[in-house]
Amino acid sequence: MQYSYIPLPETFKRDSSVSWARRASDPVLTRIDNLLNFYQRRRFATQTEDQLLALAALTDLFMATRYWVRLAANAQNHATLKSERLPAVQALHGAVVEALRQQVGCSDAAAVAQFVTDFKCRTLTDHGAFIDQLVGDTVDTATPPSAYYFNTLRRQATAVRFENGVAYRLSAKGTQRMVKLNSADFHSALVRKGVPTMKAWAPFAMGEEGDLYMTRHFISLAEDGNDGQEVIYHSTYTGGGPLVAAGTMLVVDGLILGMRGDSGHYKPTDHNLTEALRVLATRGVKVQRIKVYDWDADNPRPPMRAMDFIASQRQNFIRQLGVKKQAALQRAQAPAVTANHPVPGVAAVHLAPLSDAVEYSNA
């Protein structure tokens, strides 16, 4: 199966239908349907705002369809996922890649994936890179030991799995039994910028493909419980690679209830936390129950419900996407276009106050 363009929502639903299967029981597929509906309403928009919102929906469709296809490789572990839908979802992913390629001037699928990463992710800060490269011979020296980078097996052992929006983890090393995630099991009593980790919260990192990781962090070999004698930071999970977001998270019996971007290695912005929430939505997580906490020792913002937080970030979200799109088009047309001269036909992003700020949040 192959689509020559992004299909209409009803066409995709028809092509991905399975007899006697409830579509609503597959939360990732439901998210794909919602995004496709949102995109369809704006695919022929003439206003810059709506054009960028349609592009944003494509980036989320890219993430969601890629994730669904990955799940389908182990469909036997996901009772609500029907592998018969795979051809349609793969075809939709291919159409999304092609649409993104054309809109942002990417040369191939790999360049499309890089554009999505550039928009959604945060790279390691200079501070984080400096800390990771430091090496100390003993715990008594003023120089801390370098960060320990997980190999594939160790990273997979800290990965969080989702089933119907509920977070699970491996019960213990060397086992495949899954238990509901509780962040209190990985609480790390760290202090960053004078702000301590909140009780029962634990460090998390979200990789560039949206995979969530959680384990206890250690910044010293001498810390209680550091049996592995490893220094673990947010950079540990992906070897210092890009992350959608990093910080700490509150999870109780598999339900994500709170998120804070307290990572000195990555220093995620509000945009990164917005992207993390949108990725969690593609996992079937009910983001309505999540509260977003600020990480500012001097002037902390009161906790905000996730939907209110996303709505408050909408103008910044669109502006950031406009900048990334223009940069991608400039790269595609280089060397004819320099960084100081915008690409012809790419409008600057000037946004008026929005009355429907929460709409894209619900896509």
* SS3 of 146-174: CCCCCCHHHHHHCEEEEECCEEEEECCCC
pLDDT digits (tens, 9 = 90+) for 58-108: 999 999 999 999 988 876 667 778 889 999 999 999 999 999 999 999 999
The Cα 29–Cα 35 span in angstroms is 10
* 202 touches 187 (CB < 8 A): yes
- In sequence order, what are the residues at sequence separation of 6 or more whose Cβ sits closer than 8 angstroms to the Cβ of residue 19? none
- In sequence order, what are the residues at sequence separation of 6 or more whose Cβ sits closer than 8 angstroms to the Cβ of residue 335? none
121 vs 196: which has the higher pLDDT: 121
The Cα 24–Cα 1 span in angstroms is 23
User: What's the sign of the alpha-carbon dihedral 70, 75, 77, 79?
Assistant: positive
Say how far residue 65 (Cα) sits from the centre of its chain.
14
Q: Strand, helix or coil at 99?
A: helix
- Least trusted range by pLDDT, from 24-28, 184-188, 299-303, 316-320: 299-303
Q: What percent of the chain has pLDDT over 90?
A: 46
* 260 touches 295 (CB < 8 A): yes
* 236 touches 216 (CB < 8 A): no
pLDDT at 353 > cutoff 50: no
Q: For position 331, what pLDDT does the model report?
A: 81
pLDDT digits (tens, 9 = 90+) for 306-344: 999 998 888 888 888 888 888 888 887 765 444 343 333
